[in-house]
Structure 1
């Protein structure tokens, strides 16, 4: 053995010996063995720091479903992964890991994984089949163990995971962890390099979900995740693996990697399956093919509160795609981004962004439209990151969301706006267009002045609407129409008991009078929303409208 190799091995061994001693001293001093990003416990197991992020007591089960995470190093899991792990524990899934240092999937790392697995399954009531989650070098950790324990694995999730030692960390850096010289490790790659044996995972049809950027220079997609996918294809197990490849992304802290709800949902369902439990109920675009969901992306800040949106993105499209922003209803006082009826557009090649905005118990007008504008700007500013067509952004909303969507299309841009908040198409579902004539804001027909002062419109504006006419007009699309407004599609139920049909009729007429393209569709027999708005006919009209104005062949509105 060369002298340099000998000293490298010696230093590596000394480091491994000192690590548990340092941790023991920490325990004796009453300090935690490991600093955790979420509530849990840390402990020593065979001299290695280990941890468990626990679900709340009322969400724990027997056996306990869990995720085995890697890499567990002093810095990992880190703050970037906090949201992801929070979703897991909120769903009743424990997260556990063990620190083996820079072991790169070596036999020593595998032994520690087995020790943790044995401790949790035999002593703590954890399920016999966890889902494994590997980030970057953690892919070496989880895949090397899974290859040798296919009967103990419910699934594998990965964020730009490494499977090929030759690409990362390289044989020279990996050799000491294996107790071998570089030449010796090279000769044993057939058994020590996970990518050489991933066919075992494919043959066992272990479910896999990976998100990996196509411009990753640290962990190249081709030699790692794409090679694993090819092995699954060759084994006839392609349906067991999903590989999401965000275009233009490398080995970085892009929020999409760490707010990937689709990867989290996969991990939750596989962990539950490993505990003999049914998958959680699917909602919205989770059940649509060729879609990845990015959840709780911060698009702005209101005081100490982050403003969040969810992004539904088609994975079967190349290049930038047009985007439709959904604005929820709820009388400006209720509702959230979580229920998004626009997700079916993803199947048609659109990205869909569903936003939250400040409700009237948090802030009054114009906070709501300010948040909507901020969201549009964020979509433009992050268009390259998420492969969005910044020139073709549409907005669609229902009820109070329709009111805000219509105002996005009609209000003049704020002075000094550096990034445009203009949209190129508006779909308005039964939104109030004139707050001054909305029945809840007008005394009469049994409504007293006291009733009017308590209306949602009054709470939005900060006082009875009729007493604030200028502010009410500013917050009413009917009074804001101008020739440069984008095209409108307005839909309203013929039997709407909440927002009179006339509200949409007069907005449509004003748009046409001003020369703005507008289509008005009355949904026969429909009330304020409902199943009548989910028909094939309605969807075809919406799709045709957005296709006409948002596809790249359509010129952007200036």
Structure 2
């Protein structure tokens, strides 16, 4: 190689080393991440970025500034939450400075990462900060000194008061002081003494914090911050969700709180100057706490998920409505739940996914519905649900399933009851043997019947397996011990004939079961007629009667 070329090569290599002296190249050994990203060094501290997919990235890049970053954090409990951020195009970043408890050393490292990401990597100038537990000390101490660089503050049982955790004796070494010296200067270093600056700057806050937390007491930390916002006449900017009976633990609700996720996404986008569209990430209101994608059972490797909507301000246990979606047993999901208006009436609403016909045939669908009811009962205490008062409500294929939930005998050796105390059936097929698509008549061929939704559900046509069709039809399961029913059906329904509900209602009454049939005039298979005030009032009255 020519000496001159070799010399230039040496100079280029030297310059590269100089440029990257403060920022070490990505290295798998720097930090193990729970989601795709990169790890590197900033001022000799391990740092990371968890990246959204390339097609979801923006310029400037909206991001979440996370704490605490320690060898174990972020951890598997938070994985779902961070997945939602990445899915929404939000990056997550943090820096590990050990047990620094919001000390000046921690703030310097935060600033170094901020400058690297904003100055060199095109990140937005205002991230949303997210602090879990002692991470609250990190993010709040940095935020009060950098209010112009913060778009929002989110927290999961965050610490704001050093006195409560870790205590001055444990915190003092991070501040290079004795406990006595730290106590004398506490107003300078304790975040809660200065977090009123966040309220004065109008920085929005969203926190979830249990009232039984003895490690990070609610009152001295999150409630005190909330009080500061009230005193600054900024109470609307501070949302504090308090799961009663929950402490400092790995309760699923802390990490699947949709309100917190929506807030963080919205503020991160706002910090990047992006408009926040009305999307799936904006479903909650101040009156409702939503817990998304809770696993209620597994079918092999498949996780069966539900969403739980609960009144935000209720401190008592509340009765539960389990919503089962329609879609011909082959389509649909829990994501669009028309029952959530009942939350404002004092109910919790659980919207479930179940195995569709491309995943499993009958009886998988009813087994999943029962498993969801059992999950509600087994987890009632944690979410403050009334496990003794559960109703099922569903439409079309969901109406078929909830009708069976109210009529089928309980499985033998069932440890936790899957029985429901009331059923609202919206235009569900209750007799598969007489459903028109299942029969070769009026021009339908045997091939048409074989391709019907009923045949896909059973795995065979009703002609081939009538006994199985009866087992999957509520009409043939009616007995005097069945749950009370409210049945609603449009008189212009050309998908599920009205006679399906009429015959079922008559048979329930013959068996001595409480049943009310409301025929909705001019209504087809669903539609706006089912959203009318008188329909909602009838549903509310029915549930009030049987669940309160």
Q: TM-score normalized by structure 2?
A: 0.94
Structure 1 residue aligned with 2:509:
512
Given the alignment, which residue of 462, 467, 471 partners 2:468? 471
Matched, 1:370 2:334: no
- Deviation of 1:31 (Å): 3.9
Structure 2 residue aligned with 1:265:
262
Listed as ranges, the gaps of 5+ residues in structure 2 are 1-20
Structure 2 residue aligned with 1:293:
290
Give deviations 1:186-219, integer Å, cap 9, x for gaps.
Answer: 0111110001111111111210000000100100
Structure 1 residue aligned with 2:228:
231
Partner Cα separation in structure 2 for residue 537 and residue 91 of structure 1: 38
Partner Cα separation in structure 2 for residue 449 and residue 232 of structure 1: 68
Matched, 1:79 2:81: no
Given the alignment, which residue of 121, 124, 132 partners 1:124? 121
Aligned residues: 526
Partner Cα separation in structure 1 for residue 491 and residue 240 of structure 2: 45
Equivalent runs, 1:106-505 vs 2, <5 Å? 106-282=103-279, 286-505=283-502
Structure 2 residue aligned with 1:544:
541
Structure 2 residue aligned with 1:12:
none
Given the alignment, which residue of 63, 67, 71 partners 2:60? 63
- Contact persistence 1:332–1:456 (CA under 8 A): yes
Partner Cα separation in structure 2 for residue 117 and residue 284 of structure 1: 26
Stretch moving more, 232-241 or 522-531 = 522-531
Q: How large is the Cα RMSD of the aligned pairs?
A: 1.3
- Contact persistence 2:505–2:517 (CA under 8 A): yes
SS of alignment partner, residue 465 of structure 1: coil
Structure 1 residue aligned with 2:11:
none
Listed as ranges, the gaps of 5+ residues in structure 1 are 1-23, 552-558
- Contact persistence 2:262–2:281 (CA under 8 A): no
- Deviation of 1:448 (Å): 0.5
Structure 2 residue aligned with 1:530:
527
- Contact persistence 1:284–1:339 (CA under 8 A): no
- Contact persistence 1:285–1:343 (CA under 8 A): no
Partner Cα separation in structure 2 for residue 283 and residue 174 of structure 1: 41
Structure 2 residue aligned with 1:18:
none
Partner Cα separation in structure 1 for residue 529 and residue 57 of structure 2: 41
Partner Cα separation in structure 2 for residue 50 and residue 30 of structure 1: 11
Partner Cα separation in structure 2 for residue 129 and residue 523 of structure 1: 52
- Deviation of 1:257 (Å): 0.3
Partner Cα separation in structure 2 for residue 210 and residue 158 of structure 1: 5
